[in-house]
Amino acid sequence: MQNIFDINIKTKLTVLLVAVVVINTVIFSTYMYNSSRHFLLNSIDEQLRDATVTGFCILGSDYHDRVTDRTSISEDEYMFLMKKLSKLAKKLKVYYIYSFVERDGNILFSSTSATDKEFKSGNLDLFFDRYEEPSDDLKAIFRDPKAPIFENYNDNYGNFRSILVPFKNSRGEVYVVGADIQISFIDGELNKLIINALLIGLVTLIVTMILSMVIVSSISKSMAQFQKGLFSFFDYLGRKSSNMENIELNSRDEFGAMATVINEHIDIIRKGIEKDQMLIKNANEVIQCIEQGKLNNELTADGYNPELQELKESINKMINTLKLRIGTDINKIIDTMNHYGVMNFDVKVDGELGDIAVNVNKMGEAIYKTLNELEKAKKDNREKTLFLEDVSQKLSKYLSPQLYDLIFEGKQDVKIETRRKKLTVFFSDIKGFTSTTEFLESEDLTAMLNFYLNEMSEIALKYGATIDKFIGDAIMIFFGDPFSDGAKEDAIKCTSMAIEMQKKMIDVREELFNRGIVKPFEIRVGIATGYVTVGNFGSDNRMDYTIIGGNVNLASRLESAAEENSILIAESTYLLIKDDIYCEKREDVTVKGFTNPIPTYEVIDHKDNIFNSTYSSKLPGFEINMDMNSIDDRVKLTNRIEEIIEEIKCNGNYLN
């Protein structure tokens, strides 16, 4: 079997690169699958959470206030809610949306969705029907209601991933709203992820293999050219060739640099050899002259002059000695060039090649000194660069990302100046925070507050907000400077950010509960849109980038007037977002600096998350078409629809 060390360098490089590429591809594919799987499972849990929140909105906060016994909710109302929840479940791609109450130790349905198959078969769970197979988590949450619970559970309906969210009605009774997704659906999505990861890994492997082959081919070509030129040089020195050629290699890599240095030495050696060959030629001519001239004229009786013969032999001896010395000196220079990589320059040569040896020594010392100086300068520059990067990174923590980028790119002057601009301003704080902190140590308070502010800041930066400042537990944010997408888009982004923050608070409360914080964090938010003064305020030595004005005060006042877990906005903001986000009218507030009371609205959620934008239905003798985004008074519409239903009942045309 061929020894592995006898394989040529091209094959070795190819094997090495193939091994590296295969290992990296496997690692990349595994990492990609795990990341995608984690993202999918989080998305499914978020999907369940959204379904539960939206289901709660459909039921209404007062529905379970009316639930007392089997006769408290009419069958008509229950079926109406079942159809709405079923339609919502189909839209959000969940299997069931439901709510439970507990009576005398039994878990009872207070509302539920149903599949198309169940509607057709008539096998429906009716109001106050007993749930036969409640899980341990479902039983426990009625005894100890806390943050939402996720569970994997198998019952006679199937194998599900579920969420259970506890609420309390006005009588203090616990009821649970939940949603399910079939495990088989999750398994199907995970199988898709596996196939995608394998396909991407295969494509990556093929592409990198091709690139590796190109790189190996380029390196082996340069090595072959370098080897050919080097062998030609040593063949000449060993008298195996009569021609000494330079190494022809035009690449700019390490082989090209080595070829350039060796070619310079070849030129020097060539010139020295040509000079010594000229001396030998002249000596041969002297010998020829002696043999053809004096030797013929000075013949003795014995046939030749012994003195001239001795002179001839001395000249021949001198020529041979010169040839031997030239060969020895050249070998010394070659040995030095062979040790060039370790900078070992100590060539001692006498005679005509002495100058070449001296130049080789000086060149080696100069190269060694230059390389040391370059390495030292490179190290100093690297240390300074790392120091500046570290300082810059630390400074970025004290500035908003937008302002930091503008300053370090030279697009923002650091001087006192302000301007008027239309912005959307956001204020939030934790209701009852002062009373909560009275029972906490300073270390626990610091960790808890930093955790909350970090979660909120990540959401703010996600939407491109400018974080003005943290004031204890309060957060001040604005949209529209230094960058703006237009007043309407800025208002929508600000409100969307506030909605996501309120939803994120569910996770925050659960985490703080796990840390031992019994009293839940409940934030309130105020948002207003209008002209403010924005810029750098302060002195030449210390300044803040912030905003001031009446609309800043208005946003702060709205935050104070908002209920816990709610978002209160001014009419100026509502007019910009009403086409995209569903809001409900609230009482007007009086704010210092404004002559008239300010109309206010409470943000509920994005319309796409609550309602379809259009609805239509057609039956014989009946047709209805609605554009939900064009309806301003939904309460009036609901009352009118209920009147129509009563009229149909009275006429005996009631439809289940």
> Long-range CB contacts (< 8 A, 24+ apart) of 449-452?
449/473, 451/508, 451/511, 451/512, 452/508, 452/512, 452/521
Query: Are 41 and 151 contained in the same domain?
Result: yes
Q: What is the DSSP string of 44-107?
A: HHHHHHHHHHHHHHHH-TTTTTS-SSTTSS-HHHHHHHHHHHHHHHHHHT-SEEEEEEEETTEE
> What is the four-CA torsion angle of 107, 110, 113, 118, rounded to 10 degrees?
70
Same domain, 448 and 516: yes
Show the domain range for 620. Answer: 614-650
The reply to whether 573 falls in a domain is yes
Can you give the pLDDT at residue 298? 42
Same domain for 47 and 143, yes or no, is yes
Do 451 and 552 fall within a single domain? yes
Number of domains making up the chain: 4
Whether 3 is covered by a domain: the verdict is no
Q: Verify that 570 and 618 share a domain, yes or no.
A: no
Q: Which of 174, 189, 204 is the last residue of a domain?
A: 189
**Residue where a domain stops, chosen among 152, 170, 189:** 189
- What lies within 8 Å, CB to CB, of 304 at 6+ separation is 295, 298
Q: CB-based contacts of 651: which residues, under 8 Å, 6+ apart?
A: none
Residues 620, 593 share a domain: no
- Distance of alpha carbon 378 from its chain centroid, rounded? 31
CATH code at position 130: 3.30.450.20
Has residue 145 been placed in a domain?
A: yes
Per the CB < 8 A criterion, the answer to whether 113 and 140 are in contact is no
Residue 2 domain-assigned? no
Q: Which two tokens stand for residue 633?
A: 């008074």
Q: Find, among 451, 499, 494, the residue nearest to 473 by Cα.
A: 451
Residue 215 located in a structural domain: no
Q: Over the stretch 528-564, which tens digit does the pLDDT of each residue have?
A: 999 999 988 888 777 788 899 999 999 999 999 999 9
Rounded (10°) CA dihedral 420, 424, 425, 430:
180
The total number of residues shown for the chain amounts to 656
Domain assignment of residue 441, yes or no: yes
What does the longest C-alpha to C-alpha distance in the chain come to? 165
Shared-domain flag, residues 31 and 138: yes
Q: What is the pLDDT of residue 488?
A: 94
**Please, are residues 78 and 72 in contact by the beta-carbon 8 Å criterion?**
no
User: What is the mean pLDDT of each successive set of 10 residues along the chain, which is 656 residues long?
Assistant: 55 74 78 78 88 88 84 87 90 90 89 88 82 88 87 83 90 91 79 77 79 74 69 64 66 70 75 70 64 48 51 62 61 57 49 58 68 76 68 56 58 68 94 77 86 93 92 93 91 96 91 80 93 86 85 93 93 94 91 85 89 66 74 78 80 49
User: Are 44 and 171 part of one and the same domain?
Assistant: yes
Residues 537, 626 share a domain: no
Asked whether residue 618 falls in the same domain as residue 576, the answer is no
449/440 Cα distance (integer angstroms): 11
Give bridge partners of residue 101 from the DSSP assignment.
Answer: 108, 175
Contact, 249 vs 222, CB < 8 A? yes
For residue 586, give the 3-state DSSP assignment. strand
Please tell me whether residues 436 and 516 are part of one structural domain.
yes
Within this chain, do residues 104 and 154 fall inside the same structural domain, yes or no?
Answer: yes
User: Which CA distances in Å does 615 have to 3, 79, 440, 594?
Assistant: 78, 19, 52, 41
Beta-carbon contacts of 600 under 8 Å, excluding residues fewer than 6 positions away, are 558, 561, 568, 569, 570, 571, 585, 586, 587, 588, 589
Note whether residue 397 is domain-resident: no
> Last residue of some domain: 318, 343, 368?
343
